[in-house]
Amino acid sequence: MANIVQFENVGLRYGTGQETLSDISFTLASGAFYFLTGASGAGKTSLLRLLYLAQRPSRGIIRLFGEDAVTMPRSRLPGFRRRIGVVFQDFRLIPHLSIADNIALPLRVAGVPEADVAGPVSEMLAWVGLGDRGGARPATLSGGEQQRVAIARAVIGRPEILVADEPTGNVDPEMAERLLLLFDSLNRLGTTVLVATHDLHLLNRVSEAQMMRLDRGRLQDPTGLLRNPPARRD
């Protein structure tokens, strides 16, 4: 498989302190599934921010879709970001929009005709167990329900890359399993998936998944790709 993401000797420093990330080198293959693990403070969120172009590195090379993302003109960044779905830890739902409109936002930004929006939104609401809450506002939902809306919004446009930062941190184990199966299904359709998590129980729930581990801002394994054995599903 061709590489869709490539990091070469990437470092990230905030201000004048020590580097948050140091000498990060790895590749993500198109259509593969990855877990990113590491203790709290290891740098997982910072690495994801680099990948979805919310942050530029202090040094090193980042290539996305075969192009240099570090030197790319800012005018081209929005188009690249639309190819990447992101599930944020803090949800980032738009409070004055309904749940359905939050989920529909990526389709509308991409210019999908309005007649083609309602069907996919309804399907996503049903898939994440919120089929009867489309008209509600985010503030009326629990944290776990808001997390499910954030995931539906991230995957509705079938992005080429899906980046998820602790996506199961606010849901019960049954829903965590269901959401992970959604990611796996999207991956089987060709999306490259990277899930950052500290929940080690998830790591063997996706067959053929690969693992990267951060330790104090450095990848623990020099290849960045530690293969997990296939997991048996009940």
Spell out the domain ranges in the chain: 33-56+78-224
H-helix or E-strand spanning residue 19: strand 19-29
- Choose between 101 and 221: higher pLDDT: 101
Average pLDDT along the chain? 87
Residue ranges of the alpha helices (H) in the chain?
44-51, 77-81, 99-109, 118-127, 143-155, 173-188
The alpha carbon torsion through 33, 37, 42, 44 (nearest 10 deg) reads: 30
pLDDT above 90 for 102: yes
CA dihedral 173, 199, 165, 228 (to 10 degrees): -110
Please check the confidence at residue 123 and state whether its pLDDT lies above 80.
yes
CATH 3.40.50.300 fits 33-56+78-224, yes or no: yes
Is the pLDDT score of 228 beyond 80?
no
Q: pTM for the whole thing?
A: 0.86
- CA separation for the pair 73, 69 (Å, rounded): 9
**Which pLDDT score is estimated for 233?**
40
